[in-house]
A = this chain, B = another copy of it.
Amino acid sequence: MNIIITTTSKEPIYEQIKKQIQLNILKGVLKEGDPLPSIRQLAKELRVSVITSKKSYEELEREGYIVSSVGRGSFVASNTVQILKEKQRNAIKDKLRMVIDEARLLDIDLDEMVEKIKLLYQEAENIE
């Protein structure tokens, strides 16, 4: 699992870690039941305060993506992929709704929007 932190970003470090772990679960790099690196090890690798890595795990656990137990470590929870996908799809819908609201204010109609999306999809596939 690779996690990249950019300290220059305005996004909190713990949030960056959290998102990238979610991503790894989503992409199947981390499977249900898989062990995660210990808080201390992760902190060391990322050169981050233990407080920070701890906070990431805490949030992930609170939201049901991982389970931790003292002395044993942290593991990807079961059903995580399902829950995650569902949540993310909802999140995407919300973000899309906001983008559309803005677009409509600028008189961008449905057709233009669809065209934009097609272009951006192509663009994304070419990069990949």
Contact = CB atoms under 8 A, between A and B. Distances in A.
- The count of identical subunits is 4
A102 interface: yes
Contacts of A99: 92, 95-96, 99
B97 A102 contact: no
Nearest to A121: B110
Contacts of A9: 69
Interface of A: 7-10, 12, 23, 26-27, 62, 67, 69-70, 72, 77, 85, 88-89, 91-93, 95-106, 108, 110, 113-114, 116-118, 120-121, 123-124
29 contacts: A7-B72, A8-B69, A8-B77, A26-B105, A26-B106, A27-B105, A88-B102, A88-B105, A89-B106, A89-B108, A92-B99, A92-B102, A92-B103, A92-B106, A93-B116, A95-B98, A95-B99, A96-B99, A96-B116, A96-B117, A96-B120, A97-B124, A99-B99, A100-B121, A100-B124, A101-B124, A114-B114, A114-B118, A117-B117
